[in-house]
């Protein structure tokens, strides 16, 4: 048997390690991913999926514990929008059962890394998050004794710090459901579901809010969405109308109603998504099992086009792929995510079903969905 010098064996071993590391790096390719919150009644989990760019189909990667707690579905679902948000590199998730927020770093291969322990949300039962640059706001649902609020934070590389004097206290029972910034970060809008109100706040240079306008008599205002091409155009799912509303917002923060559409076929529209051109939007109604397509004119007015039937599986929150070719919607009663293709047609909501994939670790309690594409950077 031939014996090699020890130095040769060490070099050979090191060389093998380097090659192995290179192979691992090569196989961990950048890609596109979908994330959702499993939100069980217990330890909360983020489930991750890789997207196949050609077909739009999803492959489950892993589940990642947030370090916080979820809530039973009846306590959260239907009262939240944007409980999971991302800047493309970091993922922010609410833990409504433990009153805190978790932050994950998103790696190029779609895996997640929890950054520190969850941070207190500044209230009871956080249900919605809004992020612009280094400014984060949380909408806290509150309970029968603690009022809901909007609380502000600064974030740097995923590290959260409270923003002094930022909390806006609401009325007990208002049930805030959604907050979001406009693209410039100069305005924050919020929906108060039980108060039937949409609010607008001006954001000053320190990140603090001042109330500049509101529209009342919006029965069951739940999810909100700005046009991707105009900070003056805001859209809302009006659950108890039932239907959809378009609003106009001035740079100073005043808000007015453009038009509303009553859609009795949809019963309870709750969530919506607007395509990148700003010309079309989809409103999702879980009780009706429909995703309704609307056209949007240059003034921001809505017109109903047609609806896609999801066969009664209670579609809830929804996101579009960055390519604009695919839509992903939570099917809450079947504990799944449905993949749909955008057909460009006027009929059937402009959608075609592709597949559904199961969401592990959950029972009728999925909330939040985001899409991240590293090759679109």
Please check whether residue 268 is in contact with residue 233, taking contact to mean a CB–CB distance below 8 angstroms: no
Query: Exposed, middle or buried, 332 (CB in 10 Å: 0-12/13-18/19+)?
Result: buried
| Whether residue 316 has pLDDT greater than 70 | yes
Q: What confidence score (pLDDT) does residue 1 get? A: 43
Residue 38 reports pLDDT greater than 80: yes
pLDDT digits (tens, 9 = 90+) for 94-150: 999 999 999 999 999 999 999 999 999 999 999 999 999 999 999 999 999 999 999
* pLDDT for residue 231: 96
CATH code: domain 6-376 is 2.130.10.10
User: What is the dihedral angle through the alpha carbons of 118, 270, 268, 345, rounded to the nearest 10 degrees?
Assistant: -140
Average pLDDT over residues 285-299: 96
294 DSSP 8-state letter: E
Q: Residue 313: its pLDDT value, please?
A: 78
pLDDT over 80 (residue 23)? no
Kindly tell me the number of DSSP H helices and DSSP E strands found in the chain. Answer: 2, 30
Confidence of residue 80 (pLDDT cuts 50, 70, 90): confident
> What does the pLDDT look like over 195-237, one tens digit per residue?
999 999 999 999 999 999 999 999 999 999 999 999 999 999 9
Determine what percent of the chain falls in helix, strand and coil, rounding each to the nearest 5: 10, 50, 40
What Rg value do the Cα atoms of the chain yield, rounded?
A: 22
Q: Say what percent of the chain tops pLDDT 90.
A: 81
Greater confidence, 2 or 353?
A: 353
Supply the pLDDT for residue 212. 98
Instruction: Tell me what the pLDDT averaged over the chain comes to.
Output: 90
What is the reported pLDDT for 72?
66
Bond into 140 cis (ω within 30): no
DSSP string, 236-290: EEETTTTEEEEEEE-TTS-EEEEEEEE-TTTS---EEEE-TTSSEEEEEETTTTE
What was the pLDDT predicted at 193?
A: 95
Judge contact between 237 and 271, C-beta under 8 A. yes
SS3 319: strand
User: 25: pLDDT confidence band, cut at 50, 70 and 90?
Assistant: very low
CB atoms within 10 A of CB 346: 11
pLDDT tens profile 44-71: 999 999 999 999 999 999 999 999 998 8
The residue ranking higher by pLDDT, 79 or 145, is: 145
Q: What is the pLDDT of residue 295?
A: 98
Q: pLDDT tens across 154-198, in order?
A: 999 999 999 999 999 999 999 999 999 999 999 999 999 999 999
Average pLDDT over residues 249-263: 97
Cβ-contact 212, 201 below 8 angstroms: yes
Q: What is the pLDDT of residue 22?
A: 32
Q: What is the mean pLDDT of residues 260-278?
A: 95
Q: Structure pTM?
A: 0.91
CB atoms closer than 10 angstroms to residue 164: 10
Q: What's the CA gap between 44 and 39, in Å, rounded? A: 5
Look up tokens 């998050």; give the residue.
Answer: 129
Percent of the chain's residues with pLDDT above 70: 89
Q: Does 17 or 246 have the greater pLDDT score?
A: 246
Q: Which two tokens stand for residue 283?
A: 């409103």
Say yes or no to pLDDT of 338 above 80. yes
């Amino acid at each position: 048997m031939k014996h090699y010098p020890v130095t040769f064996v060490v070099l050979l071993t090191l060389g093998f390690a380097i090659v192995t590391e290179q192979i691992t790096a090569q196989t961990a390719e950048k890609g596109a991913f979908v994330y959702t919150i499993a939100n069980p009644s217990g330890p909360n989990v983020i489930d991750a999926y890789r997207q196949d760019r050609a077909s739009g189909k999803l492959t489950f990667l892993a589940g990642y514990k947030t370090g916080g707690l979820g809530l039973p579905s009846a306590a959260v679902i239907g009262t939240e929008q944007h409980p999971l948000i991302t800047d493309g590199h970091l993922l922010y998730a609410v833990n409504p059962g433990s009153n805190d927020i978790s932050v994950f770093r998103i790696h190029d291969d779609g895996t997640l890394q929890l950054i520190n322990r969850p941070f207190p949300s500044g209230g009871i039962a956080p249900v919605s998050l809004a992020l612009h640059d280094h400014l984060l706001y949380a909408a806290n649902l509150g309970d029968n004794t603690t009022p809901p609020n909007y609380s502000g934070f600064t974030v740097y590389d995923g590290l959260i710090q409270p923003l002094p004097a930022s909390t806006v206290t609401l009325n007990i029972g208002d049930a805030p459901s959604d907050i979001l910034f406009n693209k410039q970060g100069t305005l924050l809008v919020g929906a108060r579901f039980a108060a039937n109100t949409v609010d607008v706040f001006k954001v000053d240079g320190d990140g603090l809010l001042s109330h500049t306008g509101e529209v009342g008599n919006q029965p069951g205002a739940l999810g909100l969405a700005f046009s991707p091409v105009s900070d003056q155009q805001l859209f809302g799912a009006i659950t108890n109308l039932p239907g959809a509303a378009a609003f106009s917002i001035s740079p100073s923060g005043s808000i007015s109603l453009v038009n509303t559409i009553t859609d009795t076929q949809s019963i309870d529209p709750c969530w919506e998504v607007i395509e990148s051109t700003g010309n079309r939007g989809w409103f999702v109604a879980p009780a009706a099992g429909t995703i309704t397509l609307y056209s949007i004119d240059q003034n921001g007015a809505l017109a109903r086009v047609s609806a896609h039937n999801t066969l009664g599986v209670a579609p809830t929150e929804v996101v579009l792929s960055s390519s604009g070719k695919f839509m992903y919607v939570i099917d809450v009663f079947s504990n799944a995510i449905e993949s749909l293709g955008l057909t460009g047609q006027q009929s059937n909501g402009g959608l075609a079903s592709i597949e559904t994939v199961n969401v592990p670790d959950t029972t009728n309690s999925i909330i939040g969905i985001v899409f991240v594409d590293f090759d679109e950077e």
